[in-house]
Amino acid sequence: MTAKETIASATNGETHAAPSSPAARAALDFGKAWTYAPAPEAADHVRIDPRYELFIGGKWVAPSSGKYFETVSPSTEQKLAEVAEANERDVDLAVKAARVAYEKYWSKLSGIERGKYVYRIARVIQEKARELAIVETMDGGKPIKESRDVDLPLVAAHFFYYAGWADKLAYAFPGRSPRPLGVAGQVIPWNFPLLMAAWKLAPALAAGNTCVLKPAETTPLTALLLAKIIEECDLPPGVVNIVTGAGATGAALVAHPDVDKVAFTGSTDVGKRIQKALSGTKKKLTLELGGKAANIVFADAPLDQAVEGIISGIFFNQGHVCCAGSRLLVEEGAFEPLLQKLRDRMQTLRVGDPLDKNTDVGAINSKMQLDKIRELVEAGEREGASRFSTPCELPARGYWFAPTLFTGVSQSHRIAREEIFGPVLAVMTFRTPDEAIEKANNTMYGLSAGVWTDKGSKSFWVSQRLRAGVVWANTYNKFDPSSPFGGYKESGFGREGGRQGLLPYLEVD
């Protein structure tokens, strides 16, 4: 694609590639046939408090420093609430409350009684699912249909699943004697705030541990609503504590000497610092870090189905997914038809108000993340890759980036090596299965991958050779609480989900 084939968007000064020919442009000109009437999700019944305190020992506690920070909606840049900023003293109070709760209450309960509490949390989450989905969308920017149809069902499913394991730990590890560790310190990211809280809390509570949870500073609201649910479910005080704040709060929790287990989901750089800080201690650690997943499409694949998987793999949640299929490897024989289908499909994506039920791509989570995406996209253009961005009109306020793909990408380009964490796809080609595997594994990450082919034997053969913790075949981004999730190399270690997700929270002899 030449420079003459790009057009400038009327908004935000972004550059966009035009369809490849006048005939193609005419074929895609449906007038207003793809225009949907607004279908906003009503939010007038959702109550967000003007200020939130810390949830420590079953009570709402003001921060000892008296400091609060604002959480804003990335789609409007409007302030949603003020949230308490916890310091080392607050973290210490939370850990002490968790220790007392572990020794006085939680460790003395039978597995079946713990399971009842976890089950109760799941049921109340189901009852409040609409409210939680709306707040998740308002605070994080993801489309309401994703919060409503993906995040919340999975949140409830994880609590239900681990409620069932609470009285069956001896069956999970037959012939061994599983015991809880004690106090778990858990730090979660901003891309799936409530789901990540469920991934951390559900197995820890089922295994008999108490928890101190630190949500991301840009998306704390649903974790605080979860604290209200835990309060409503009458869990013993201190079993779950939630402290909000920025990186210093998380660092204080990780470094606290009375924390027995640390679970972190976030960037690889922070994960490395945590691992270094905990080396030489007796704390157990699991890390779920970054990714640069390869989505491999063979020429014999059903291309229309593959296009839908590619779209889901990279544009789901604006690309704010650690396992996003951000590298597309296409067999040369299928490159041209697949690329045309992919461009056509991208132009049907609706970018805009995340509370509109028709929206496909919502707002970027923060200005900082938007700046990072722009910087890496500019690097891709400087290094010679050809950019195609959907020519959509972006809202005037908020943080937005049009769905984008690059062709002419080499393995050395930054957009092929670094995690962009945005709606940006790097497309490359291959000639043989061996070349596809070599390119897919040529990354410091190893979290996930996808394989598209109509031959089952080929999908198994390729999957066995990919250094990725999760490999999807002829689908992408499918999750289930009974299936373990985690990575290799610099994508971290340990597993969350399934029976394997219990093990990091247990001492097993």
Residue for token digits 């005419």? 26
**332, 337, 343, 348: CA torsion to nearest 10:** -140
| DSSP one-letter string for 79-129 | EEEEEE---HHHHHHHHHHHHHHHHHTGGGS-HHHHHHHHHHHHHHHHHTH
Q: Count each helix (H run) and each strand (E run) in the chain, helices first.
A: 17, 24
E strand or H helix that includes residue 261: strand 261-265
Q: Terminus-to-terminus CA distance in the chain, angstroms? A: 61
Cα 48 to Cα 67, 185, 189, 196: the distances in Å are: 19, 26, 21, 21
Strands, E assignment, 117-219: 178-180, 183-187, 210-214
Phi first, then psi: give them for residue 350, nearest 5 degrees.
-100, 120
Written as one letter, the residue type at 482 is: S
Q: Which residues are catalytic?
A: 288
Task: Answer yes or no: are the C-beta atoms of 28 and 37 closer than 8 Å.
Answer: no
| DSSP one-letter string for 415-464 | HHHS---SSEEEEEEESSHHHHHHHHH-SSEESEEEEE-S-HHHHHHHHH
Strands, E assignment, 291-410: 294-297, 327-331, 386-389, 404-407
Question: By C-alpha distance, which of 101, 100, 192, 113 is closest to 155?
Answer: 192
